[in-house]
Amino acid sequence: MKNIRFKLFKSWLVWGFIIISVFIGFQYLIYRAESTDPTSGINSFANALWYGIVTIATVGYGDVVPITVTGRILGSILVLCTIALMGLFISQFTNKIRQIMENKRLGYLGTNMQNHCVIIGWDSFSFNVTKWIVESKKQVAIITDNKNDIDLIYNKFGEKEVFVLFSDYLNFDNYDLLNIKKSSSVFINFENDSETLVKLLNIKRIYPNLNYIVSLNNSDLKETFQSAGVTFSISKNEVTSKLVASYNFEPDVAYFTENIMSTAIAEDDHDLVEYKVNDDNNLINKNYIDAFISLKKDFNSVLMGISRKMNNEFKIYKNPESDLKIISGDYLIVLADGKSKKMLSKVFNVNEGRHEI
């Protein structure tokens, strides 16, 4: 890259030297032509340079002008060259602006998003995932190999919460444009599980320490993907089949499960969220049962469990023993509605979600 920039810089220097040399030589010819007439205002080389500069700049003060036939012919050539040069400059400038805008649209200028979700592979399932993530007030960086997806994505989600990169999925040099190293998770989603595995292994080879999530068609491959380094894998068919089966004999549970899997926006919506317990949280050192009562009483929220980091891995305590004490760094898993989510974020002084790998 440095060599390319140096060559371009060197090329501009060469062309700049040639243009300036031609300009100076041309003005010298005008001076020589005008010097034959003692009444001409271009009676010195300095005046000839001044005339050339104001002509190229399209200012045209008219204080000095050629009056000889040869001088006027040379001056006319200079004017025509100036018009052509200005047209070329404006055209190049317009093309450059258009190229910058197109590069921005295609994602080639990159993003400075941090703690965001990266989605590799775009389809209707990715669309729904993005919808829920954006509604959770989190940013998403998407890579797609179809240009037609770009405008559709931005029209739906806007440019503030979503960044789109058009690229071949195998062009891993472009992945840095997603600021992938600063992401909280990487969701790999392709129609074919084999393709998903190949992409996962290739990406993980370059970025080994990220939090990887995959969607599967075949739930039997979960162990295979986990051994390949996936943090979390989900089978589309498995989730759907569980909801359908649940509806057949416990429909209220199915409705409730579907409801809490969405994002609570309105005050009467509910979903499961998690909040980190920082050092200034007043729930620290409280027993689970006391925290349960406090959250229910103060925020009308239900404490469902606690996620705690142990030996660099998170262990989830689902409905734990009443005397389990809450410590700093825990994540509280809470069933909350739209109203209580806003209050919890404000009181806990954190946004919902776990961003640690």
Question: pLDDT tens digits for 64-93?
Answer: 888 888 888 888 888 888 788 778 778 878
Question: pLDDT tens digits for 24-58?
Answer: 888 888 888 888 888 888 888 888 888 888 888 77
| Cβ–Cβ under 8 Å, residues 110 and 104 | no
| Cβ–Cβ under 8 Å, residues 345 and 352 | yes
Structural domains of the chain ordered from first start: 2-106 (1.10.287.70), 117-240 (3.40.50.720), 264-348 (3.30.70.1450)
Q: For residue 270, what pLDDT band results from cuts at 50, 70 and 90?
A: confident
Edge to edge, the sheet with strand 313-318 lists: 270-276, 331-337, 302-310, 313-318
| Cβ–Cβ under 8 Å, residues 100 and 158 | no
Q: Nearest Cα to 309, choosing from 328, 289, 325, 324?
A: 328
Q: CB under 8 Å to 243, separation ≥6 — which residues?
A: 254, 257, 258
Q: For residue 249, what pLDDT band results from cuts at 50, 70 and 90?
A: low
- pTM: predicted TM-score of the whole model, two decimal places: 0.65
| Cβ–Cβ under 8 Å, residues 118 and 180 | yes
Question: pLDDT tens digits for 282-300?
Answer: 899 999 999 999 999 999 9
Higher pLDDT, 191 or 1: 191
CA 42/CA 64 separation, integer angstroms: 6
pLDDT at 117: 92
Higher pLDDT, 60 or 138: 138
